[in-house]
Structure 1
Amino acid sequence: MKTILTLTLLSLISFSATAQHEHQGDHQNHQQAEMQEAHRHTQHLDTLIHHYMDAKNALVQDDFESAKASMQAFADEVHSSSEMNQHEEHAEKHEKHHSNMVVAVEEASAAENIEELRAAFQKVSKELITAVENQGYDGTLYKQYCPMYEGGSNWLSKKEEVENPFYGQAMHSCGDAVEEISQP
């Protein structure tokens, strides 16, 4: 009887240790998946910010062709990234934001002149600012504001000095840096 009791006790201890080890493994796998998800998201946002800044800088210089090419690269990232298209964890939150972004990038892609591109850039800026404010960004960005364009428009910049993408060289420094967005 003691042998059966001892074997039963050892089996329970072994089962408990195995279950605990499997639970720890599941927890570690979950943490690794979350880290990979965060890394993919960071890469996605970095890519969007890169193309956005290229477009903004080209608009500041009144360079329609370069601005349009940069906005097309931005649109390609929006359309192809799983972060924009398959983010199930935050599907409801992203649904409206994503659909607004898709409309904005499609308008940018269809722009036939710099005025149309600037109007689309205004919409892209609104959605990108929302994404950065909601999700954070690993770095420092400046939210800037021009009171004259379309009743007031915001955009993002990597530097505090204002260079207005909506008026380009005609009103190069119109606006203000209204907020610093940074992550520790």
Structure 2
Amino acid sequence: MKNLKKNIALMLLLAVSFSNAQEKEKMNHNHDKMMTMKGDTKSEAILSDYFNLKNALVTDDSKKAAELGAKLATSLKAFDKSKYKVEEQKELTDIIEDATEHAEHIAKSDIGHQREHFKTLSKDISDLIVITGTKSTLYKQFCPMYDGGSSWLSTSNQVRNPYYGSKMLKCGKVKETIN
């Protein structure tokens, strides 16, 4: 009887320990998920540079867009993928390499070519945000007129078209709110 009580006590202790370990694991997973959903400082820096570049294209400022393309390329290269899961790291590597290439092209192109590269860059930044999350509310906007239809991200729900600038400043609409 004494051994039976010890075995029952031991089994209860193991069950409680196992249950606590599962709860702790769940809490850690939820914390990691929340951190990912809110974005990190490096992804927020990338977003800031992206929005500054978008605004330069909105105002038809090719010189400023070139400077900001170079700055964005630097921010992209500084991104630390190490806190993400292995599958996400591979995806982030592909996204960042592609986005960096487009940002570098923007840094040395005329405004027409800058806008062409901005289209793919915008897709890359959208894909990045799906993985990293963001602290901000963003608006995915869409212009049906540019190159068969083109999207970009904005911090404002007011459309300011980076593909046409002053020619068609308000061409487009909000397609999605992110966050």
TM interval, short-chain normalised: 0.7 to 0.9
Structure 2 CA distance for partners of 1:42 and 1:71, relative to 1, 3 Å: farther
* CA contact 2:38–2:133 (8 Å) conserved in 1: no
TM-score when normalising by structure 1? 0.71
* CA contact 1:133–1:181 (8 Å) conserved in 2: no
* Counterpart check, 1:106 vs 2:101: yes
How many angstroms apart in 1 are the aligned matches of 2:32 and 2:135?
16
Deviations 1:98-146 (A, max 9, x none): 5255223212213312333222211011233345568865543222222
Count of residues in correspondence between the two structures: 175
* Counterpart check, 1:179 vs 2:179: no
* Counterpart check, 1:124 vs 2:115: no
TM-score when normalising by structure 2? 0.72
How many angstroms apart in 2 are the aligned matches of 1:26 and 1:72?
46
Letter of the structure 2 residue corresponding to residue 38 of structure 1: M
* Counterpart check, 1:17 vs 2:17: no
Letter of the structure 2 residue corresponding to residue 119 of structure 1: E
Higher relative contact order (CA 8 A, sep 6+): 2
Deviations 1:27-80 (A, max 9, x none): 314522441353145324433332221111121122334333433444344434
* CA contact 2:36–2:132 (8 Å) conserved in 1: no
SS of match in other structure, 2:5: helix
Letter of the structure 1 residue corresponding to residue 148 of structure 2: G
- Partner residue of 1:67 out of 43, 65, 68: 65
* CA contact 1:101–1:124 (8 Å) conserved in 2: no
How many angstroms apart in 2 are the aligned matches of 1:68 and 1:8?
77
* CA contact 2:53–2:65 (8 Å) conserved in 1: yes
* CA contact 1:144–1:176 (8 Å) conserved in 2: yes
* CA contact 2:159–2:169 (8 Å) conserved in 1: yes
Letter of the structure 2 residue corresponding to residue 24 of structure 1: N
How many angstroms apart in 2 are the aligned matches of 1:154 and 1:39?
27
Structure 2 CA distance for partners of 1:108 and 1:90, relative to 1, 3 Å: closer
The structure having more radius of gyration, on CA atoms, is: 1
